[in-house]
A and B are shown apart, each in its own frame.
Chain A
Amino acid sequence: NAGVTQTPKFQVLKTGQSMTLQCAQDMNHEYMSWYRQDPGMGLRLIHYSVGAGITDQGEVPNGYNVSRSTTEDFPLRLLSAAPSQTSVYFCASKGTGRAEAFFGQGTRLTVV
């Protein structure tokens, strides 16, 4: 009954460091996506995937990379962290058609 699992829950990075935020789902959903949530800005889409091997950019993709080698996993990579990437990151998954979206518990990232 895990649903969407994100790790880590909290992370502090120094400017210029790289890291990968992990996201895994066990519902065999085709669609997965990454959002960031910032005060006053709401949730904004970073990248999304409609299936293994297929990814596309969302509203705010700069500074982030993704890949989707399996149905279950959709990691988000920060290649060179910047203070502007301080945010709460959420991963979501959804089945095909008019299905419900499910979210992970989030990763709170601070870049100093």
Chain B
Amino acid sequence: KQEVTQIPAALSVPEGENLVLNCSFTDSAIYNLQWFRQDPGKGLTSLLLIQSSQREQTSGRLNASLDKSSGRSTLYIAASQPGDSATYLCAIPDRGGSEKLVFGKGTKLTVNP
């Protein structure tokens, strides 16, 4: 069974800093990986979906990378802003093309003005 780990559990940075959030997984035979953002008391908002054939995916100030061989994905946030404060979650299909997603427990990001 796929296991997903996100370290650190919490991160606090000053505004304007570039930062990297980490996601590691145990089974490198993944279909794709999805990054979500969750604001307090809210649902999950999809940020980026990176397919197994891709190395990177970009959306605005966000860049997700995928290294299947090392079982890692990173979410890079450029020029962080207080509005980026949220919990960031990564999710991977349980196996192959399974529709069952396995989630990490998330990294809670605080960007201080």
A residues near B, CB below 8 A? Answer: 31, 33, 35, 40-43, 45, 48, 50, 58, 90, 92, 94, 97-106, 108
Contact = CB atoms under 8 A, between A and B. Distances in A.
A98 B31 contact: yes
A71 B85 CA distance: 35
Which of A35, A41, A43 is most buried by chain B, counting CB atoms within 10 A of its CB?
A43
B99 A94 contact: yes
Given A101-B46, A103-B45, 14 more contacts: A31-B99, A35-B101, A35-B103, A45-B101, A48-B100, A50-B99, A92-B44, A97-B97, A98-B31, A98-B49, A98-B51, A103-B43, A105-B43, A106-B43
Given A43-B89, A98-B31, A98-B32, A103 B99 contact: no
16 contacts: A33-B99, A33-B100, A33-B101, A35-B101, A42-B106, A43-B89, A43-B103, A45-B100, A58-B100, A90-B44, A97-B97, A99-B49, A100-B49, A101-B46, A103-B46, A106-B42
Interface in B97-113: 97, 99-101, 103-106
B36 interface: yes
Interface of B: 31-32, 34, 36, 41-46, 49, 51-52, 89, 91, 97, 99-101, 103-106
Nearest to A41: B105
A16 B70 CA distance: 48
